[in-house]
Each structure stands twice: as structure tokens, then as C-alpha cells.
Structure 1
Amino acid sequence: MTRPFTGWHMLATMVGFFGIVIAVNVLMAREAIHTFSGEVVENSYVASQRFNHWLADARSQQAAGWSATIGADPDRHLTVTVLQNGHAVPVSSVSVEADQPLDTILPTQPPMRALGAGRFQSAKPIGSGRWRVRVQAKAGVRMLRFEQDIAV
């Protein structure tokens, strides 16, 4: 003998369904809040005022033929080679800031050692994963800026 589907069964089904939906939404919202701070720049107004200047600098740098290869060697040391028109060129200094965009850990600024002819390598290895690497290099009086995502 089968039992009839009653209003109580429908209530239990609806409470169960919406309970699962709400629980998943709460879990996803909690994870989103704890894994991404939401801060991309410190002051969005100041960044918006400087944006056109940054864009003009990038275009000027690209027009002058400056570029960089950014990567990691098999031992997970960051490597940076500064190029002008495809040829490695010596630069006086390089600073690097690397962060993992999908994590809330603070960016790391590994010390870089010169290998010669515009080539630099980090003194210590970085962790595995996806990294956003920002490089600042000084060539004469010109400050060069590069950014690249790498996977280690």
C-alpha cells in the first residue's frame, strides 16, 4: 500500500530544497569574502587620475622597443631579462614584486641578483602556483615597468 503525497511532504521537500540552496549560497559568500579582499588599488580616485599617465608611459616604453621576459627556472627562481628591440640590454637595477592573485597572502619582493647583460634571478625560489609578477627596471634615467602572469 502506498502512502499519499500530502502537504507535509511538499513542505519537507520545499524546506529541504531551499535549505540546500541557502546553505550553498552562504558557503560561497563566506569563501568569496575570505579569499579576496576586494581591494585592487589603495585609492581608486587617485588611480583613475593617474591612469592616462600610466597608459602614455606604457605606449612610450613599447614604442621605444622595451620589453622583458619574465619566468622561472626549474628550481622556481624568478628570472627577468630586460630587452630592447629583442636584444638583452644591461640595466642598473631591477626590483620585483610577485603575488598570487587568487590568494590573500601579501606580495613578496624577492631580492634579485644580476647575471649580466640585463638578466636577473631571484636569490630564493618562490612557491608553486600562479603568480602575477611586476618588474621595475632602471635603464639610465628611464624607469621601465613590466607585468606578466606566470605559472610555476
Structure 2
Amino acid sequence: MTTVEDMSKGGGFRVTGRTVLFSLIGFFGLITVANIIMIWLAVSTNTGVVVASSYRAGNAYQAELDAARAQVERNWSVSADVARTADGVAFDVTVRDGDGAPVGGLEVSATLASHVSEADDQRVALSEGEIGRYRGSAGTVGSGNWLLIIDAMRGDERVYRSENRVMLR
């Protein structure tokens, strides 16, 4: 039978105040080091910068609101067809005014924007065939979800903009 006296003499493990202190310091030190590494990795791989100058972006905000209001007042109907072809992706955009008449003389562009990387974005200037119908094609585009951005310009003024998600298979 082992007694308390035998345990104190023998080589049994004893938990002392010093053992508890060093264990806690080691545990929280390890957690702190892991947090520092994770923060460093997060900040070094993604800076969080979306625009180069938030001041300029803030100043342009009112102009964006005015452009959106003017677009709604125009009451245009814009339809877009995005289809896979053997060479890549074909765009077919039709622009009609509020009365259903085709709107011609615009500079229309279509952008397939990647949700992952701006390097994968593909911007295509569409050419007008018949009045109000704009067509173009992009090269190789990967499968998946894309953001289709359609911009229509008349001179230096943007008269239409839409952003829609599309799925390319």
C-alpha cells in the first residue's frame, strides 16, 4: 500500500505553482505566436485595398447616383445573350428605348469580371451590326460564375450600366 509519505519521497510527478505558471505562459505564448503568424499571412496576402484613392471614389459617388437616376429615367430595355462558342464566348446585346425602338450610335462594351482575380477579367468592345444590336466575342474564358458588366457610352457620357451574374459552363 502506498502512503502519502512514500509519494513525497518517490519520483512521482508533483504539480507545483511553478509548473502551473510555466504551463500557462507556454500555452498563451503558443497561442500568441500562432495569432501573429496568421495576422501576418492575412495582411501580406491581401492588403484590403479596393480603390487606389477612397477620397476620389467618395467624390465620384454623387456623380454615380446622378447617372443611375438618369438611367432609370431613360427607361431603356437592354437584353444580353452570352453563349459559349468554339473560340470562346459570344456576346449579343440589344438596346431599346422606352417605346421599344432600337437605340443606335452607342459605344457598348461587355466585361466578364472574375470574382477571384482582376487578372482574369475580359473586356470586349462590341460593334453595332444592325441598329441597336451590338455583338462581340472574347477568347478563352474559364467555366464558373462571372459578373457580366455592360457599359454603353455616348461620347464621354456613360448612358447605361448593368451588372449581372452569369454562369458559364
2:90·2:135 contact (CA, 8 Å) conserved in 1? yes
Deviations 1:61-115 (A, max 9, x none): 23xxx02123521232233221334857252233215243653439643132345
Matched positions, count = 144
Q: 2:90 aligns with which of 49, 55, 77?
A: 77
Q: Displacement of 1:3 after TM fit?
A: 6.3
**TM-score when normalising by structure 1:** 0.68
Residue 26 (structure 2) pairs with residue 12 (structure 1): yes
- Structure 1: tracts of 5 or more residues without a match: none
Q: Displacement of 1:137 after TM fit?
A: 5.0
Q: Displacement of 1:136 after TM fit?
A: 0.6
**RMSD in angstroms over aligned alpha carbons?**
3.5
Q: Which has the higher contact order (CA 8 A, sep 6+)?
A: 1
Q: List 4+ stretches of structure 1 deviating above 6 A.
A: none
Q: Displacement of 1:57 after TM fit?
A: 1.2
1:41-120 superposed matches below 5 A: 43-44=56-57, 46-62=59-75, 66-75=76-85, 76-85=89-98, 87=100, 89-96=102-109, 98=111, 99-100=113-114, 102-105=116-119, 108-116=122-130, 118-120=132-134
1-structure distance, mates of 2:51, 2:140: 23
Question: Equivalent pairs: percent with the same residue?
Answer: 9
Residue 154 (structure 2) pairs with residue 135 (structure 1): no
Q: 2:164 aligns with which of 139, 149, 152?
A: 149
- Structure 2: tracts of 5 or more residues without a match: 1-11
Structure 1 SS opposite 2:160: strand
2-structure distance, mates of 1:88, 1:102: 38
